[in-house]
A = this chain, B = another copy of it.
Amino acid sequence: MVTIGIVGAGLRGRLFAEALRGQPEVTVVGLAEPSAKVAEEARAATGLPVTASHPELLEAFDPDAVIVATPDFAHRRIAVDVAEAGKHLLIEKPVATTLDDALAIAAAVHRSGVRCLVGFENRWNPHVVQAKAAMASVGEPITASATLSNSFFVPTTMLSWAAQSSPAWFLMPHTVDLVLWLTGRRPVSVSAVGSRGVLAKRGVDTWDVVHALVAFDDGSTATLSSAWTLPDAGDGIVDFRFQVIGTEGSVTADLSHQGLTVVSDKYRSAWPVSGRIGRSQVGPAVWMVQDFAAGLVDGGDLGPDIDHGVLVTQIICAIEDSITTGQTVQLTAPTI
């Protein structure tokens, strides 16, 4: 039996707790949450004990593994403490929002020898899984492009901490990971442009939009775009499209339109189907956390590791650098 604690008892933390309920040989022992209000809600929703901090969680339940489901910028101390306590880790993406933080977490993980999954949940997204499978049929990758954007709703209403994040930090970890996974290439340099001002006028002082070019070590390329300024009158809050062109074929995805359109006086939706199918809870985050638990039980592969997480953080730091300096930024292997 593997025991798991969850740090962060917001929507994601509760989703993970729910997804692990009834999984064989796994027990969620409790959550940690600094906000008394959120903690109380989580207690009511999950029926699980909720401590006020991650040290108390470790102290009280001594779990085998910990899931870090807090905002990005708060990962470092928790992840380092958990790793140093010898607990396995699932850390939400991005692993951190500075390279220094990411390297500190990686160092702790490597030192203690714990296992660590960074939660790039698109690895469990059915479309992305199928796209990865299709790569075998399209020859050598020539180039890739990916757009992942949100409507204003996300930075201005959904996220309380949007000003501490950006389209680059909130959205591009997904597309950077996507492009690296699908192409299997190693990035060597990054150029990027971006603009700000529109969200700032709405009270969220961060980038409105970021575009980046990536060059890989075999000379191939990719382009990434993320905006946080799509109109709220559109089809849902997410625009997610990507394309990989290979020497013998292509994979093209528009995950914003998955075949179902609901139009009513009350709402409009063209966004993917998810949620509950009969008794089954479905969706990438559910399958990811269940596989994490199963991998802890049987020792099987967990998925993207901490070094990959560091690389993604490094690339997004380079994107930010390039926007600021107007120059192409070379990526050198960090000393982990």
Contact = CB atoms under 8 A, between A and B. Distances in A.
Contacts of A261: 251-253
Interface stretch (A27-35, A85-93, A97-105, A125-133): A125-133
A132 to B, nearest CB: 11
A53 to B, nearest CB: 31
A246 to B, nearest CB: 8
Contact of A294 (B137, B230, B279, B284): B279
Interface stretch (A3-11, A157-165, A207-215): A207-215
Interface of A: 22, 24, 123-124, 126-127, 129-131, 134, 137-139, 142-143, 145, 147, 149, 189, 191-198, 208-209, 211-215, 219-223, 225, 227, 229-231, 233-235, 245-269, 272-280, 282, 284, 287-288, 290-291, 294, 300, 303, 326-328
Given A22-B24, A233-B249, A143 B191 contact: no
B273 A278 contact: no
Contacts of A145: 147, 211, 225
A251 B260 CA distance: 7
Contact of A142 (B126, B131, B208): B208
14 contacts: A124-B280, A127-B260, A129-B273, A130-B275, A142-B229, A143-B229, A189-B326, A223-B223, A223-B225, A231-B263, A234-B250, A246-B264, A250-B263, A328-B328
Contacts of A268: 233
A227 B142 contact: yes
Contacts of A272: 259
A291 B279 contact: yes
Given A126-B282, A250-B263, A279-B291, 7 more contacts: A191-B328, A230-B245, A234-B250, A235-B263, A249-B264, A252-B260, A258-B258
A24 B25 CA distance: 12
A275 to B, nearest CB: 8
Contacts of A209: 142-143, 221, 245
Nearest to A211: B223
Contact of A227 (B143, B264, B327): B143
4 shortest interchain CB distances as A-B pairs = A249-B264, A126-B273, A191-B191, A137-B264
A265 B138 CA distance: 8
Nearest to A326: B328
A328 B193 CA distance: 10
